[in-house]
Structures are given as C-alpha cells and as structure tokens.
Amino acid sequence: MRAVRLYGEGDVRIDEVPEPTEPGPDEAIVAPLWSGLCGTDVKEFTGHGGSIARKPHPLTGAGLPLILGHEFSARVVALGPRVEGVAVGDEVAVMPLIHCGRCLACRQGEHQRCAMKAWTGLSDRWGGFGERVLVRSYQLTPLAGISAVAGAVIEPAAVAVNAAARAGIGPGDTVFVAGAGAIGVLTMMAAKAAGASAVHVFELNPERAAFVGSLGGDVVPTKDDIPGYLRDRTDGLGVHVAMDCAGKPAALEACVASVRPGGTIGVPSVHPGATPFDVRRMTRDDLTLVGTVGYSRTLWEKTVLMVRAGVLPIEKAVTSKIPLDEIVTRGFEVLAKPSDETKILVQVNE
C-alpha cells in the first residue's frame, strides 16, 4: 500500500509499504477516506516539532520513518472477533489517542493524561496517510450521518471543544481567540456553540482573517492595541476568556492582557519554546491559565454529537482537498511557508 512517511526534517516520502495483516481480537483495519494535514505534521516537516516518536515509542514501538496522519475519517475493512458496535463497510472517525489502559490516569478515565499515550499518525506504526490503518476498536466512532469530509475534521474540532470547555466558555461570555489557523477557527465555532455572545479573533494573515470573519468570528482589525480594542467592546473590562490558538509569545501576551479580572486564558496551542509572560497580572487580577492536550473521551464523543446535530459546522474549515500523490507539493511545502490555507484534506481512498 502507499503511505506517507516522515524520515526527518524536510523529508517526507510516499512509500510502498506492507499493509497491516489480520486485526487482533480487539483491533480493526480501516481504509482512510479523507485525512487532514495538521500544523503538528508541518512542524515535524520543518524541523520544529517534538510531537512524533523519533525513537521507538514505549507503548507502540514506532519510530522513524513514521506514517503520518492523525485526523481522518475511514471505512472499516476488517474487524477482530471481539469488536462490537461497528460493522465492515461502516464509515467512522478515528480517535487517534492510544493509551496504556493500566496506569492511574487511564484507570481514572483520563486517557489524555496517560504518561505512555501515543497517537496514530504521530507515534504509532500506522497513520491516516496510509491506505490501510490498524487501530484499536476503542478508537472507532461511527459517523452515522456525518460526511466523510467532516469526519476528518472531528479530531481538531475535539481539541477545540475540549479547550473551550476546560477554559469554561459558557453562555454570554465574551471571548478572544488569538490566531485563525484550524484550531483558532474551530475554537471560534466551539465558543459560539457554547453560547458565547461575541468571539473576537485576531489573525495576522489578512486572507485567513477574512475567512474566519466569513464564518462568524468578529475580526480584530488592529494589532497595535488588542487589549484596548477589546476593552472598548466589553465595558472597559476585557473579555471573559482568551484562547491562545497561535502558540506564539505575542499571542499569549495579548491573551493575558485581554481578559477581565477573574478571567481565564486557555492554551491549546503548542509553543516552540519556554514562553515568558507577566505572571504578576495572574495574581493581581485573579486570573486562571488552562493548558489542554487532546481531549477527554467524553468531549470527543460530545464533539461528534455536536457535529451530527449541525451546531458545529466544521466542514467549513476545509479550504483545500488534494490527492495523496500531491501531499508534498500541494500540502507540506505549501503549509511550510506563510499560507492562506486553514485545513487541507488529503483523499487517501475513494
């Protein structure tokens, strides 16, 4: 089968590799339909990553070269004998988070906090940019009415829903989102779905800013005094919640400066290094900083319910669809430079 493999910085190849064979009793083999390119993949390609297993992963044994692709919809092609609730031919979303199942975090149901966790497409032997993927049955969620295109956006949407929920975004809240990449756009949608009264979004790239505006975000038109601009629109106080979806020092700084006393700053983005910020404001104004990784199982399932119900129009975040054999030239190389794209989907199987 064909599979897109990362060998190291700047080196992604479309290889011919053996398909997964028989699934184990609690495993399944799926054929990815649409698979999303993520900023995480691109950071590994440009060499600023840290998310993938470069040495053999303790849980999965996977290391370079590694099949990428952790955001994908798929069709079930084979099931182990103990798998229930899904049939061969069903279309599914694949929850890429793999956990050990034995540690205290796992036993408490906090899979995203498992110290041994791995991700299909980042630290597993298989990934969504391969024509077949071996997964654990608990990774499968039937799409049941959700399109295969939207199914490929459920994973980053779950990251956004989880981040918005953990930051406590609720009815009537005013929200600031720094950065309108895929996570920023999806966080804007998650905040609206949670009842936010306004979601102000700042994005440096004018094309991306216009795009998030067309999807319902209130675009912040200035980068000079974002906190002042937001205070002018929030009775002089600042927003209830600010979400750093850019992963840049200036974005976190703007978030910390833009929330009202008692406000919350959410950080679902991955910063490239140790980012300093003015912690005095945290103390003086009673602020809360909430970092999030992935999603809880509960919020993964709730994200699926929201997409199926139509309250989270995640399909609209897709800006390009490309074939697998053009993933390097029209995918990685495009996203490695400043780009107008939000979410590029790759068709892996028809």
For binding to Zn ion (CB under 5 A), which residues are involved?
Answer: 38, 40, 99-100, 103, 106, 114
Q: How far apart are CA 98 and CA 106, in angstroms?
A: 10
* 3-class secondary structure, 262: strand
Q: Which is nearer to Zn ion, 68 or 256 (CB)?
A: 68
**Dihedral over Cα of 43, 44, 48, 49: its sign:** positive
Minimum distance from CB of 89 to Zn ion (Å)?
Answer: 27
Minimum distance from CB of 42 to Zn ion (Å)?
Answer: 10
Q: How many helices (H) and strands (E) does the chain have?
A: 11, 18
Q: Which is nearer to Zn ion, 100 or 149 (CB)?
A: 100
Q: In a 10 Å sphere around its CB, with 0-12 CB exposed, 13-18 middle and 19+ buried, how is residue 319 labelled? A: middle
The b-or-e profile of 216-229 (16+ CB within 10 A means b, else e) is ebbbbeeeeebbeb
Minimum distance from CB of 157 to Zn ion (Å)?
Answer: 10
Q: Could you check whether the bond before residue 65 is cis, i.e. omega within 30 degrees of 0?
A: yes
Minimum distance from CB of 12 to Zn ion (Å)?
Answer: 16
Q: Which is nearer to Zn ion, 114 or 257 (CB)?
A: 114
Q: Which is nearer to Zn ion, 40 or 258 (CB)?
A: 40
Q: Which is nearer to Zn ion, 114 or 201 (CB)?
A: 114
Q: Which is nearer to Zn ion, 52 or 79 (CB)?
A: 52
Dmax over CA atoms of the chain, in Å, equals 62
Q: How far apart are CA 290 and CA 270, in angstroms?
A: 13
Q: Which is nearer to Zn ion, 1 or 106 (CB)?
A: 106
Minimum distance from CB of 178 to Zn ion (Å)?
Answer: 18
Query: Are the CB atoms for 286 and 178 separated by under 8 Å?
Result: no
Minimum distance from CB of 238 to Zn ion (Å)?
Answer: 30
Minimum distance from CB of 311 to Zn ion (Å)?
Answer: 22
Query: Are the CB atoms for 259 and 121 separated by under 8 Å?
Result: no
Q: Which is nearer to Zn ion, 95 or 239 (CB)?
A: 95
Show Cβ contacts of residue 211 under 8 Å, excluding neighbours closer than 6 positions.
180, 185, 319, 340, 342
Q: How far apart are CA 154 and CA 19, in angstroms?
A: 25
Query: Are the CB atoms for 41 and 346 separated by under 8 Å?
Result: no
Per DSSP bridges, beta strands 174-178 and 239-244 are parallel
* 3-class secondary structure, 280: helix
Minimum distance from CB of 38 to Zn ion (Å)?
Answer: 3
